[in-house]
Amino acid sequence: MTQEIIINPVTRIEGHGKITIYLADDGSVADAKFHVTQLRGFEKFAEGRPFHEMPSLMARICGICPVSHLIASAKACDALLGVRIPPVAAALRRVMNLAQIAQSHALSFFYLSAPDLLLGMDSDPSQRNLFGMLAANPQLARDGVTLRQTGQQIIELLGGKRIHPGWLVPGGVSEPLSAEKRDKILAMLPNAIAITQQAIHWFKSILPRFSEEISVFANFPTLHMGMVDRRGNLETYDGYLRIVDADGNVVEDRMTPEDYLDLIEEAAEPHSFLKSPYYKPRGYADGMFRVGPLSRLLVADQISTPLANAELQAFRQIPERQSSFYFHLARLIEILHAWEEIQRVLNTPDILSDHVRAYAEPNAFEGIGISEAPRGTLMHHYKIDKNGLITHVNLIIATGHNNLAMNAGVKQVAQRFVHGARLSEGMLNRVEAVIRTFDPCLSCSTHAIGQMPLHIQLIAPNGEVLDEIAR
Partner 1 sequence: MRLVIGIGNTLRGDDGVGVAVAQQLAAQHLPDLRVIACHQLTPELTALISQAEQVIFVDASTNLSAGDVKVIPLDLENARALATHHWAPTALLMAAKVLYSAQPRSALVAIGAQHFGYCEQLSESVARALPRATQLILSLLRGEVH
Q: Are 377 and 96 in contact (CB under 8 A)?
A: no
Using CB under 8 A, which residues numbered 53 to 72 contact partner 1? 63-64
Span of 50-58, 138-146, 264-272, 451-459 interacting with partner 1 by CB under 8 A:
138-146
Per rule CB under 8 A, is residue 119 in the interface with partner 1? no
Query: What span, in angstroms and rounded, lies between the C-alpha atoms of 351 and 341?
Result: 13
The residue type at 289: F
20 is an interface residue for partner 1 by CB under 8 A: no
DSSP 440: -
Is 142 an interacting residue with respect to partner 1 (CB under 8 A)?
Answer: yes
Please report how close the Cβ of residue 134 comes to partner 1 at its closest, in angstroms: 5
Under rule CB under 8 A, residue 251 binds partner 1: no
Per DSSP, the chain holds a count of helices (H) and strands (E) of: 18, 16
Q: What is the DSSP letter of 48?
A: T
Nearer Cβ to partner 1 (290/375): 375
Kindly state whether residue 195 participates in binding partner 1, applying the rule CB under 8 A: no
Give the range of 148-156, 315-323, 356-364, 398-406 binding partner 1 by CB under 8 A.
148-156
| 123 makes contact with partner 1 (CB under 8 A) | no
130 binds partner 1 (CB under 8 A): yes
Stretch that binds partner 1, among 27-35, 132-140, 355-363, 455-463 (CB under 8 A): 132-140
Q: Helix, strand, coil % (nearest 5) of the chain?
A: 45, 20, 35
Say how far apart CA 326 and CA 438 lie, in whole Å: 10
How far apart, in whole angstroms, are the C-alpha atoms of residue 54 and residue 46?
Answer: 8
Burial of 29 (0-12, 13-18, 19+ CB in 10 A): buried
Q: Is 189 in the site for partner 1 (CB under 8 A)?
A: no
| Site stretch for partner 1 (CB under 8 A), options 123-131, 358-366, 385-393, 429-437 | 123-131
Closest distance between partner 1 and the C-beta of residue 147, in Å?
9
8 Å CB contact between 444 and 65: yes
CB of 8 to partner 1, least distance (A): 16
Taking the complex as a whole, how short is the minimal distance between the CB of residue 33 and partner 1, in angstroms?
A: 23
Contact between 389 and partner 1 per CB under 8 A: no
Identity of the residue, 144 or 400, whose beta carbon is nearer to partner 1 in the bound complex: 144
Residue 436 interacts with partner 1 (CB under 8 A)?
no
- Residue 217 contacts by C-beta under 8 Å, 6 or more apart in sequence? 323, 324, 325, 409, 412, 413, 433, 434, 437
Q: How far apart are CA 444 and CA 14, in angstroms?
A: 9
Closest C-alpha among 366, 384, 380, 398 to residue 275? 398
Is cis: bond before 9, omega within 30 of 0? yes
Asked if 98 contacts 151 with a C-beta cutoff of 8 angstroms, the reply is no
Site string for partner 1, 83-112 (x = CB under 8 A): ------------------------x---xx
The residue within the footprint of partner 1, chosen from 37, 152, 402, 445 (CB under 8 A), is: 152
Q: What residues make contact with partner 1 under the rule CB under 8 A?
A: 11-12, 14, 63-64, 107, 111-112, 115, 129-131, 134-135, 138, 141-142, 144-146, 148-149, 152, 162-163
